[in-house]
A and B are shown apart, each in its own frame.
Chain A
Amino acid sequence: MALLSESKAQRVYEYLWRLPSDLDQIPGLQSQIVDLLSRCGFSERDMFAVRLALEEAVANAMKHGNRLLPHKCVEVALGLGEDSVWIRVCDEGEGFDPDQVPDPTAEENLERPSGRGILLMRHFMDHVEYRDRGRTVFMVRRRACSSESNHQAFCAPPVAE
Chain B
Amino acid sequence: MSAGAAPKRRRLEVEDIGDVTFVRFTDSKILDEANVQVIGEQLFSLVDNHGRKNLLLDFSRVEYMTSAFLGKLVTLNKKVQQAGGRLALCNIAHKEIFDIFVITGLKRLFNIYRDEQEALQSF
Contact = CB atoms under 8 A, between A and B. Distances in A.
Number of contact residues on A: which range applies? 20 to 34
B67 A116 contact: yes
A45 interface: yes
Interface string A88-116: 00000000000000001100001111111
A120 B34 contact: no
Contacts of A3: none
Q: Is the interface of A mostly helix, strand, loop or mixed?
A: helix
Interface of B: 32-34, 64, 66-68, 70-72, 74-75, 77-78, 96, 99-100, 103-106, 108-109
Nearest to B104: A116
Which of B75, B96, B108 has the most A CB atoms < 10 Å from its CB? B96
A117 B96 contact: no
Contacts of A24: 34
Interface in A72-89: none
9 contacts: A56-B66, A105-B105, A110-B74, A110-B105, A111-B109, A116-B67, A116-B104, A117-B66, A119-B103
